[in-house]
Chain A
Amino acid sequence: MNQSEMSRAKRHLDTTRKMKEMLPRFFMRQMERRFSSNEPLAWCMVGVPPELLKAFDLLFEWPENFGTMCASRLVAPHFIEVAEGDGYSPELCSYVTNTMGYCKLTKDKGEPPEESPLPGGMGTPSMLLGSGFICEPRWKWFQSIATRFFNVPVYSSDPLAPPWDIDPRDPRVEDHYLTLLREDLAGQIDFMEKQTGKKLDLDLLRETLALSHKALGYWRDTLALRKAVPCPMSSTDYFHSIIPQMYLVGDQEAVDFYKEMYEEVKDRVARKVGVTEEEKYRLIWFGLPPWFNMGIFNYLESKGAVVAYESTYNVGDFFEVDLSDPLEAIVRRTWQRAVKMHDYGAETMPELCNPAVFGGFSGSSLLNELVEEYSLNGALMHLTRSCRAVSFGEVHTKNRLAQLGIPSLIFESDMADPRLWSDAQIKNRLHAFLETMDKAAGGDKLNDS
């Protein structure tokens, strides 16, 4: 195994390995459409319901995901440094600064920079569809792009959720928030209709939602299979398999993908096939992964440590909703998720209202369930310097885990900026943490191996 700095991930599932063929096919289709027509192109943020994009048959790109690609190909530092040279602080979200550098180079050169991981880059947007879900930089990000680089219209949706000490089941509170969610969604659709010149096809939206929910149902059930000992699926498979949620949700291709993954993982559970030869430690991962060094999960696996649950991109809270009114279905999906998260305790992350398909960990009382159901005995917390939105609350979570007797390690780096990765130091800390877990458990598993 390659354990040098910034190593690419080894995937364990055949299904996720196949993505290496599936995704390029998707990107080629997108690119052909982009080059052969003058269709509108939307740059979107997580939080925008992908089903809406499909229902408008709209070409789209996800700059956040583009950031993960730039990170994994180690070109993000170049783009980030260009943005820093333009005055953007190194403290700002590295997905954002990656995009700002990319945009500057594109604008200056009149074409996407050759370092771009996607052939032809992300294209020139004709609109920006943002979402205020989870953090403030998202509001400023598309505002700055449209101010500085591409003078195109922007719609950022504004999903709010009640603070942790307000009862979301109070009918007046529910009405207060649902009214906002409904009107905001209507505003988003009105914007998209104007920009695309198309009327939203509600029947197509309903069909897309049905396919999307089918795919997500398989994804949710796959994740639940990771409760098995040994854990049948690794973090490297997990983090890579979120991508079809963004690009292919609403297509039969995504249903087939997640179904196949479900069946493969189920088979591994039946045959008791794990990620490592001997599973010594079962961990929960908090925060965004270091996309430039996904091999770190394989490093952990080489020590017998398997991550069985991740706090980000998790759809464990996915809900079945009545699709007869597809717009109300999106609103209800958003609200039900927020209420569920709220029930678990939203003291560190009140902004839980995500109208899209992604979920995420929130609520310290959820920890009790996870520790028991996933047989967890340790936690790793990736404190991402440039993303406070996701990493804020890790100290609080650590405190709550300590009450459950679960040791945890907070280590610092970033999701897209490898300049903040210190390989020897981080590995040293991870190794020392596993040793501590041994001592806490009364054994010495590392030296036993």
Chain B
Amino acid sequence: MTVNKYNITHTNNAALESEERIKKIKKESGKPVIGYLCCFAPPEIISAAGAIPFRITGRAGEDNSAADAYVEPYGCTYVRNILARAVKGELEYLDGLVISHSCDMVQRLYGIWTYYHTLPYSYMFNVPHQLSRWAQDFFKRELGFFQESLENFTGKKITSEVLKGTLATYNHNRALVRDLYKLRKKPALAIEGSEMLNLLIKGGSLPPEDFTVLLEEKRKEIKRRAPKTEKARRIMVWGSIMDDPTLLLMIEEAGGQVVADDTCIGFRVWEKDVPVTENLYEGLTEHYFVNFQCPRTDRGPGVERFNYLLQRAREYNVDGVIGYCISFCDPHKFDYPDLRDYLKKEGLPLLLIDDNYSFEPKGSIKTRLQAFLEIL
């Protein structure tokens, strides 16, 4: 199978393109498409069950008012946007829905969505906040319940061998993504941050073997490319979910280079392989829970919880950090003052962009970006 079969392009409309493509893939493969938000519930298990995991994306800046009949205006605009899309019937191609208890709003979206619109399959994957031994045990048991629900839906038993094979494919993709990230450590830029994000958005919407082809194709293409050698400030982005490259494009237009990230659809998922342990749930728990750097999980007090970020900033030789917070995003907004002070102490400035998932007003955001890049 080749990616070109689906005419995957390298435009900045990755999310739009993904949706059109998944309908085609679904028709051709006959497999059910299971939409998910957030990665605590491993997509590997969905794939192993014979379904296609599909990362649902919003449409930043689009009208959310269709959600008003079901949820309050004071809530994460990204979540409201997703619900508005479901209400408008834009996600009808989904056969199933998996939402993890990642944050309050997403968790509650699950209840409202499935109450008003029953899907053939739906599962809320419950996730503790603690990282205690018993919380990890809970997570492992939850993996079992999740797997069982998928098996009941697809009628396909997930054997240990099948899951191991799926993990190998996903881990191969992780290695390919890491190779691309490695290129970003070099002074001469081989791949823009916006391009990388688009690639990962596409990855969330493709069967893993198709993503492998896309990644390999991208690697070859990059080798043929002349890296950008002009000097630009090196930026790491941190914060709420970014399923749209607009902000990264704005940073790039303002003269910055986005070379590293710590957001939901970013390095977090690809940074390490899922360890293939004798009990596969051990490795999945380590990857998707213990080591998964989402601020909703409690890593105790102290700034040590940000050490991984500082380490990443140094590895990628970052000049400054741009934070992105969507309205009412509690986990990130709570971390902001501690992170800002910690980075400042380490000589790294942090600019926070507050947004209602619209990247508007663009003029004002651009001015702030330009001013920030100038002071670096």
Contacts and interface: CB of A to CB of B under 8 A. Distances in A.
Interface of A: 86-89, 91-93, 132, 135-137, 139-148, 151, 154, 156, 158, 160, 162-166, 173, 176, 179-180, 183-184, 187, 346-351, 383, 385, 388-389, 391-396, 399, 410, 412
A286 B101 CA distance: 24
Nearest to B337: A87
A182 to B, nearest CB: 8
A224 to B, nearest CB: 29
Contact of B334 (A141, A160, A164, A166): A141
Contact of B104 (A180, A183, A383, A389): A389
A394 B112 CA distance: 11
B124 A350 contact: yes
Contacts of B104: 135-136, 351, 388-389, 392
B309 to A, nearest CB: 15
- The 5 A-B residue pairs with the shortest CB-CB distance, nearest first, are A146-B301, A140-B334, A183-B134, A87-B337, A347-B111
B334 A91 contact: no
Nearest to A400: B115
B75 A392 contact: yes
B110 interface: yes
A91 B70 contact: no
A392 B331 CA distance: 17
B72 A383 contact: yes
A136 B302 CA distance: 18
A135 B296 CA distance: 11
A348 B112 CA distance: 6
B338 A165 contact: no
24 contacts: A88-B333, A88-B337, A136-B103, A136-B330, A143-B300, A144-B334, A145-B301, A147-B338, A148-B338, A154-B300, A154-B301, A156-B129, A160-B101, A165-B122, A179-B137, A179-B141, A180-B128, A180-B138, A184-B135, A187-B132, A388-B74, A392-B75, A395-B72, A396-B71
A385 B124 contact: no
Nearest to B142: A176
B303 interface: yes
A347 B112 contact: yes
Nearest to A150: B301
B129 A148 contact: no
- B72, B132, B145 pick with most chain A CB within 10 angstroms: B72
Nearest to A172: B145
B72 A392 contact: yes
A52 B376 CA distance: 52
Nearest to A394: B72
Interface string B109-137: 01110110000001010101110111101
